[in-house]
Structure 1
């Protein structure tokens, strides 16, 4: 069953945003991570890079495919998850925790969804699937 944590915001590009702190933490959803299967490489934006909502800012590669990661919000990258260089499969194992991608100071949140809206888009029962 797909996990959709209720406290996060989601993009149609299957990224999540945790707005509980500043900067905002961004990662791939479990749906995206599961779809990639075994992630073998993650390209992250540079610290200091200015991201534009909806524009590619990195990529994720698996043994099966490669996919761009689109910025779910505009802002400046303040941190990246260096642990993913040594172990990109953290995104598969813990997409909402240790597998986070980067942190940004948001200037434009863009169009994000609540967990309930994202679950509906993914046709997942809500709130049963929320952790």
Structure 2
């Protein structure tokens, strides 16, 4: 019997995140249907963050990527790409987390919390963090 996981990505990406990274995220979130031509199908095998309309998670899956305000500074409004994704994954797919973490890590706006995953009946999530262009240690 397979285990199931709630997988959540919740972070800001820098406003200057390269368009190929944003295009890859939009494809993974199924905000764009066409796989970007420069996206390696050997690594990005299928849209990992696509919301399932029949998800078993309370409230369902979520997929959002938008340029949003982070407040104001002397130079004007601060804006960043807000990513929120919540999906229901099979344990067989959990190794694919690395695909998304590798895509996000170099572009995260601020170090710290980036999301979590947890087995559907666990009360304690495994948190992942971003720092210095990489992501924090965790185990499956």
Q: Which structure's residues are more often strand, by fraction?
A: 2
Confirm or deny a common fold (TM above 0.5).
no
Q: Larger radius of gyration, structure 1 or 2?
A: 2
Return the TM-score normalized by structure 2.
0.29
